[in-house]
Amino acid sequence: MKNICYTLLLTLVLSSCSEYQKALKSEDIATKFKLGTELYDAGKYSKANKLFAQIAPQYRGKPQAEKLMYMYSNSFYMMKDYYLAGYQFERFESQYPKSEKAEEALFLGAKSFYMLSPVYSKEQKETVTAIEKLQIFINKFPDSEYLPQANKLIQELDYKLERKAFEIAKLYNKIANFESEDYEASIKAFDNFLLDYPGTTLREEAMYYRFNSAYKLGINSVEYKREDRLNTAIKFYNSFYKAYPESQFGSEAAKMNTELQTAVQHYSIKS
């Protein structure tokens, strides 16, 4: 019985493969469309995609073209080929703006760019593009059922940009090795970060590291700039403490502030 079942299964597989190979070589676009649709509905997107690619130009302007181009676009998405999915979905929405699938296509096209967004530590070109594409979708379909998901995706992408900017500023602090230019760059980077992302969840940490950079700059400064830099660091500490009196960095920050206060007293005595 097992042998019979195996034989029947093998026959079906070989028959299916044979039918697919014949369709690929066939000149009949209707045959390709029919089998491609069957394969698409069965979840065999790679095979369906190859058939759709062969007949897409010939169906341009035909009644079946809209359905074909949606399936063709979505087959790329299901295959996780997000570059081509994004391109094809945008093309579909542009060609068929009144289609019942236009809204979904524009959303999935934007989401394709979201899927291409890398981890925050890498170049964020795709992240910026994804945010732009999702915003275009939101502007065009403000009442869409996909709106909550689109907003959530933008929030995730925005956080990547925040994290990227934060880590760059923090890197200046870590690699400075008492070079004043690097500490100044770190302070400036954190200033820009806090200005660009006023609602960031990283605000506490950013304010701490800005103070930390100012502390290191002041303590290790050349003499003729030291007093001003010490006072600047103390101002940053006061801002940090006022905003986060119970901070996880509070103990370390307080020790640094004490050192700053001691150092700056030297100038008060001299004056």
CATH topology match: 33-160 vs 168-269: yes
Could you give the maximum distance between any two Cα atoms of the chain, in Å?
A: 104
- Amino acid type, 88: Q
Cα–Cα distance measured from residue 177 to residue 271, given in angstroms and rounded to the nearest whole number? 31
Q: Is the pLDDT of residue 16 over 60?
A: no
Q: Which of 212, 205, 219 is nearest to 261 (CA)?
A: 219
Q: Which residue has the higher pLDDT, 251 or 10?
A: 251
Q: Is the pLDDT of residue 13 over 80?
A: no
pLDDT of residue 177: 62
Domain ranges of the chain: 33-160, 168-269
Q: Is the pLDDT of residue 194 over 80?
A: yes
Residues 254-261, mean pLDDT to the nearest whole number: 97
The 10s digit of each residue's pLDDT in 197-242 is 999 999 999 999 999 999 999 998 889 999 999 999 999 999 999 9
pLDDT of residue 30: 93
Q: Is the pLDDT of residue 10 over 60?
A: no
Cα-based torsion angle of the residue sequence 260, 266, 269, 271 in order, rounded to the nearest 10 degrees:
-100
pLDDT of residue 5: 46
Q: Is the pLDDT of residue 160 over 80?
A: yes
Superfamily grouping for domain 33-160: Tetratricopeptide repeat domain (1.25.40.10)
Both tokens of residue 89?
Answer: 């979905």
Average pLDDT over the chain, rounded to whole? 91
Q: Is the pLDDT of residue 9 over 60?
A: no
pLDDT band at 178 (very low <50, low <70, confident <90, very high): low
Cα–Cα distance measured from residue 98 to residue 137, given in angstroms and rounded to the nearest whole number? 15
Q: Is the pLDDT of residue 130 over 70?
A: yes
The 10s digit of each residue's pLDDT in 41-74 is 999 999 999 999 999 999 999 999 999 999 999 9
Which CATH number, 3.40.50.12780, 3.20.20.140, 3.40.50.300, 1.25.40.10, labels domain 168-269? 1.25.40.10
pLDDT of residue 176: 65
Q: Is 218:180 a contact under the CB 8 Å cutoff?
A: no
pLDDT of residue 23: 86
